[in-house]
Amino acid sequence: MQPVVHPVVGYLCYAAYARWSRGEPPRDESALVAVLAASLADLIDKPLAAVGVVDVGRTVGHSLLFAVPLVAVAWILAARADRRDLGVAVAIGYGSHVLADVPWHVLSGDYAELGFLLWPVSHMPAYTGVKPLGLGTVAGFEATTLWLEAVILVAGIVLWWIDGRPGVGAVGTAIGRLRERG
């Protein structure tokens, strides 16, 4: 999945949870945490690959051997701060990232590329890129994962807008606090 789509998937998953658990759209801080947590695996792995520390952009941050302890620590810290909502947001956001990278490989039969799930215990070969969806051509173009990701991206942005753009208020508050200190 393209890095820009992961925060949207994180938002969609957290928005579904918020509606299921509270019957309302996500709140500012928890929505922002879910979106940031959904971006974290790529924010760890892509720079490491870019500077040559690892061979591919899905290793440390995408591995369940890293993700599970990270989410557990975030959960414990959130519980201690009496902010369990933020622990849930981290779990849903980070989990959505790792899980959203799985279906394309399964659907295309590129099972070796699932090596990121247990990296470094399992090998992660070079990513082979955009996968066909097996639907043939649509309007003269081959239906690929990239098209499906574009639909997810647009749908997520529309829902976020309809929900009142949760997270924007938290960013504005943080910027205001920084200005007061400066």
The predicted-structure confidence for 144-156, as pLDDT tens digits, reads as follows 888 889 999 999 9
Between CA 114 and CA 86 the distance in angstroms is 28
What is the extent of the structural domain holding 44? 6-181
Phi, psi of 146 (to 5 degrees): -60, -40
Helix (H, G, I), strand (E, B) or coil at 65: helix
Domain count, the chain: 1
Question: What is residue 137's predicted lDDT score, i.e. its pLDDT?
Answer: 67
Q: What is the pLDDT of residues 153-170, one digit of tens each?
A: 999 999 999 999 999 988
| Residue pLDDT, tens place only, 42-84 | 999 999 999 999 999 999 999 999 999 999 999 999 999 999 9
User: Residue 134: inside a domain, yes or no?
Assistant: yes
1 within a domain of the structure (yes/no): no
CA distance linking residue 96 with residue 71, whole number of Å: 12
pLDDT at 130: 76
Q: Is 157 among the domain residues?
A: yes
- Cα(175)–Cα(182) distance, rounded to whole angstroms? 11
Q: Are 159 and 16 in contact (CB under 8 A)?
A: no
Encoded tokens for 108: 């295309």
Q: Which two tokens stand for residue 89?
A: 């947001």
Strand, helix or coil at 1? coil
Which pLDDT belongs to residue 144? 80
DSSP state of 134: E
**Mean per-residue pLDDT of the chain:** 92
Tens of pLDDT along 94-108? 999 999 999 988 888
Is 42 a domain residue?
Answer: yes
Is 111 within the bounds of a domain?
Answer: yes
Note whether residue 99 is domain-resident. yes
